Structure 1
C-alpha cells in the first residue's frame, strides 16, 4: 500500500529530469500517472526527442517519445500510466491534458506543474523572443493546467464530491533570490510563487491545496548553470509525492526548497523594520529614515552568480 494508492496524478514535463523522477515516484506509491512531455530541447526547440505524432496541442505521444518511455518504465514495474504529448502552455493542450486523465482513469487528484526550459542571457543581450518563450512555458504552462484542473475540482465540490485535490508547482531558487544571466527564468519562477499563493487562497473552499517547491538537483537544465549541485532529481520527489497525497491535508500556500536530503520551509516577503511619520516625508527625510531602517533589516539572500 502506497500513500497515493488509486490517486490519479498528472506530471507535466514528466519525460526527463525532475518530472520523470516525480512520475516514477508517484507510481511507486500506487498512483495512476499521466506523463506529459512535449519532447523538446533544453531551450524549447523542437525535434530533439519526440517520437510522437500529432500537433503540439493534440496530446498524442508515441512510445519512443520521452513521455512514452516513462510510461513504459512505469508499466514494466506493474504500474498504470498514459502519455500525453501536448503543449500545456496552450488552451488546447491544457484542456486535453486534463481530459486525458479523466478519460483514462475517470478522475484527477493531483497536478504537478513541472514543465519548463531555459534561454539564459545577460539582460542586455536578452531578446524579446527569449523573454516571451520562457515566460510562456513556465508561467502560462502553470496557469492553464491549473485552471482546467481547478474547474473540474470545483464542479466536483459543487456536486457534493469535495476532492482532496493537490497542486504542486515548481519555482526555483532563481525565482526566490534571483540568478545572474537568468532574468527571464527568475522573473517567471517568481511569478509562479505569486500564482501559487493566489491559487491556494482562492481554491481552498473547493478542497484544493496548492504549494510550490524550489528544487535543486542535477538535471540537463541545471548542469551548466549550477555545476556544483550534488543532489539528484530522485531526492526531490519524496516531498512532491507527499504534497500530492491526501496525507498532506492542511498544508497549502507554502513554498519548500528541496535539495539532497534537505527540506526547507521558505519564508517570503513580510513586513520588516517600519517608520511612521504621520505626514508626508521630504526626500531627504525619506532617505535618512530608509537608511536607518536598512541598518536594522536582515540582509537579502545573495543573488546566484553575483560576485
Structure 2
C-alpha cells in the first residue's frame, strides 16, 4: 500500500517549491525539487536492508547518488534551472514534466447541466483502468 500521508506531505513541499520558483524567479532566486529514491533510516521499512554490492559499486538506493545533482543545482551552471522537479534513482536523473492540460470540455450553453457533464466525462473516461494513474515508480521504469 502507498503512504498517503507521506505522499501528501511531499506533494505539498513540491507545490510550495514551485510557487516559490515562480514568485522569486524574477529576483534571480531559483527553487527546484529533488525527489530522491534513497535508502535512509526513514525508508528502511519500505526499501529494506542495503544489498551486498561488488567492490567499486554503489547501492542503487544510496543517498550518495543525489550529491551530483545537488552540486549542479547549487552551481552557477544551473542559473537558468528554476521550478523543475527531478527524481534521482541510482545513476538516473529524471526530469518530471509539469501537469498539463489534457483536454478541455466546453458546455454547449453558458454552463454545464449535471446530466450532460456526467455523460461527457463518463464517455471520455470509458475504458480507462482507474488503477492506472501517475506513479513516480512507473516513471522511473520508462
TM-score range, shorter chain: 0.7 to 0.9
Residues 151-182 of structure 1, C-alpha deviation per residue, up to 9 Å, x if partnerless?
A: xxxxxxxxxxxxxxxxxxxxxxxxxxxx72x2
1: CA distance between counterparts of 2:123 and 2:70?
A: 42
Q: Of residues 74, 77, 80 in structure 2, which corresponds to 1:250?
A: 80
Query: Could you tell me whether the CA contact under 8 Å between 1:275 and 1:293 is conserved in 2?
Result: no
Which consecutive aligned stretches of 4+ in structure 1 deviate over 6 angstroms post-superposition?
Answer: none
Residues 114-163 of structure 1, C-alpha deviation per residue, up to 9 Å, x if partnerless?
A: xxxxxxxxxxxxxxxxxxxxxxxxxxxxxxxxxxxxxxxxxxxxxxxxxx
1: CA distance between counterparts of 2:118 and 2:136?
A: 24
Q: Of residues 171, 195, 207 in structure 1, which corresponds to 2:28?
A: 207
Query: Could you tell me whether the CA contact under 8 Å between 1:274 and 1:293 is conserved in 2?
Result: no
2:32 is paired with a residue whose SS is strand
Q: CA RMSD in A?
A: 2.6
Once the two structures are TM-superposed, the CA of residue 244 in structure 1 deviates from its matched residue by: 1.1
Residue ranges of structure 1 left out of the alignment (5+ in a row) = 1-178
TM-score by structure 1 length?
0.37
Give the equivalent residue in structure 2 for 1:195.
Answer: 16
RCO higher in 1 or 2 (8 Å CA, sep ≥ 6)? 2
Change (3 A) 1:209 1:234: same
Residues 185-225 of structure 1, C-alpha deviation per residue, up to 9 Å, x if partnerless?
A: 22111011111111111111222111001110111111212
Q: Of residues 27, 30, 44 in structure 2, which corresponds to 1:223?
A: 44
2: CA distance between counterparts of 1:237 and 1:290?
A: 44
1: CA distance between counterparts of 2:122 and 2:49?
A: 36
1:210 is paired with a residue whose SS is coil
1: CA distance between counterparts of 2:126 and 2:14?
A: 28
2: CA distance between counterparts of 1:247 and 1:199?
A: 20
